[in-house]
Amino acid sequence: MKVAYWPGCVSRGFTPELHGSMAKVAPLLDLELVELDRACCTGAGVIAEHNQELADSLNARTFALAQQTGTDLMMNICSTCQGAQSECQERLDANSEYRAHINENLADEGLSYEKGLTNKNLLWLLVEEIGLDTLKSKVKRPLSGLKVGPFYGCYIIRPIHRLGIDDEHPRDRYMQMVIEALGGTVIDYAGVYKCCGFPIITMNMEASLAMAGRHIGDAKDADADCLVVPCPLCHLNLDLQQPLAARQAGRELGLPVLHLPQLLGLALGLEPKDLGMSKHVVRPTSVIEWSSSVIAGVPA
């Protein structure tokens, strides 16, 4: 299927392994990605915090660009992008007067946002568009014996009503469902639905690192081999900052943190090196070792 693809800023900046692994995994999932390279940053909630109309206009522009590609829906690979965009979309869709006003801002480029764009994070797309059964059928290296702790990232699970989470779409269980579909073991721990601390890294660094340290520590105590996150900003606070988080928490951590496409890639038969795992600050040694003990295509 063809989707309009918003890769976000950080996947092309400080977490290039995310962008790279997504590009490798897409064809294996029969996903044709039409990259929205004309679009700009969603604001990550920070621009909305600064000026709501500005954030709404920037995102309306992105939505309009997506609508122009003629694809069925837009996809992102970042919880924060999802949340920031959903917030703007909620306002734009709710009130036609406001939408018209924002579209006026876009008029000089000849762009206009029409109500009702479907914007899904990769995680939702996997379950809702591709389907777990199809996903299972593509697994070449089942994640058997790999204990994976999910970490969602606040922006993709709250507020519930804005993110379409309900009984028909238990989107706050998708990570667990995907891990199991790929053959892995889900590790439940206190931090699954908590905050990585990234939003306050400059305002209260201690608290931010304490949060990251605590959740990583809790996952370690629950015997996880790694965490998996659908958000590169979370990845920054959990992986890039892990040495500092360890210092703040006063304990050794060293727990690898994978991007969702990397976990997918492993299960679909790709090698850790191709998925950019060597670029992580916390070397995913345990994961790499596990993967070499299970050669893709050969039953475990």
Residues 257-276 that bind another protein (CB under 8 A): none
Q: Is residue 128 at the binding interface for another protein, with CB under 8 A as the rule? A: no
- Residue 295 backbone phi and psi in degrees, to 5: -75, 135
Region for residue 137 given its phi and psi (left: phi exceeds 0; alpha: psi -120 to 50; beta: otherwise): alpha
> Whose Cβ is closer to another protein: residue 109's or residue 289's?
109
Residue 13 C-beta: closest distance to another protein, Å:
5
DSSP label at 159?
S
User: By CB under 8 A, is residue 134 in contact with another protein?
Assistant: no
Q: Which residues contact 299 (CB under 8 A, 6 or more apart)?
A: none
Are the beta carbons of 180 and 139 closer than 8 angstroms?
Answer: no
Interface map 43-82 toward another protein (x if CB under 8 A): xxxxxxxxxxxx-xxx--x---------------------
Number of residues lying near another protein (CB under 8 A)? 83
Tokens of residue 186, six digits: 């889900």
Stretch that binds another protein, among 4-12, 67-75, 264-272, 284-292 (CB under 8 A): 4-12
Among 28, 34, 41, 139, binds another protein (CB under 8 A): 41
Near another protein in 209-238, by CB under 8 A: 210-211, 214, 236
- Taking the least distance from each CB to another protein, the nearer of 53 and 114 is 53
SS3 string, 184-207, reads CEECCCCCCCCCCCHHHCCCCHHH
